[in-house]
Chain A
């Protein structure tokens, strides 16, 4: 069972446009929601993250919108650039246990056309 569902699987956006990737989760125990960016041949790298006590977090051109009641969160990339072309993963984690288990979405391949 996929704990975190991500859509779309792929996305093509013109340079300067807005890229939007959506994720949904079921487990209300999750209390940390990061987004990772992965370039070919590299490991994922943390892009931005949010905790459920806020509805939005912005870092530069990247914004996470979080809807706790709907159990959904999304990544918005403003003014998308060709250098943003990568695979993006959402994830969810619970930090309240003795360990720290992360659940990842299946990824979105973003292509930004010049």
Chain B
């Protein structure tokens, strides 16, 4: 158990809908990272937050947004969902903004029908 929690574990929704994925980092960790894992593209970095501020941005679509709250939990919002957004979404946390070891949560499996 990494200490990172993600909810929900599974999510099934329809195209065009909006969903919110939640991540709670390990106790004491200030950075949260979001990743998308699909079968054909592996793990794709989406975005990093550190202590409430955006720090690094990867291949995140404009339909996707994230934020980190004062209690350090983070939410990833996915809107106008398309079939291709079906994937596993992982969050990871680290103590600092440039720490090396990332601790991954168990993931949220999103299925868009």
| Chain A residues within CB distance 8 Å of chain B | 32, 34, 36, 41-46, 49, 89, 91, 93, 95, 97-107
Contact = CB atoms under 8 A, between A and B. Distances in A.
Please classify how large the interface on chain B is, using the bins under 10, 10 to 19, 20 to 34, 35 or more.
20 to 34
Contacts of A32: 100
A37 B44 CA distance: 16
Interface stretch (B67-75, B79-87, B102-110): B102-110
B101 A103 contact: no
A100 B90 CA distance: 16
Given A46-B101, A107-B42, 19 more contacts: A34-B100, A34-B101, A34-B102, A41-B106, A42-B106, A45-B104, A93-B100, A98-B55, A98-B56, A98-B97, A99-B48, A99-B56, A100-B55, A100-B98, A103-B45, A104-B42, A104-B44, A106-B41, A107-B43
Nearest to B94: A100
Interface of B: 2, 4, 31, 33, 35, 41-45, 48, 50, 55-56, 58, 90, 92, 94, 97-107
Contacts of B102: 34, 46, 102
Contacts of A34: 100-102
A17 B49 CA distance: 41
Nearest to A32: B100
B58 A101 contact: yes
B2 A105 contact: no
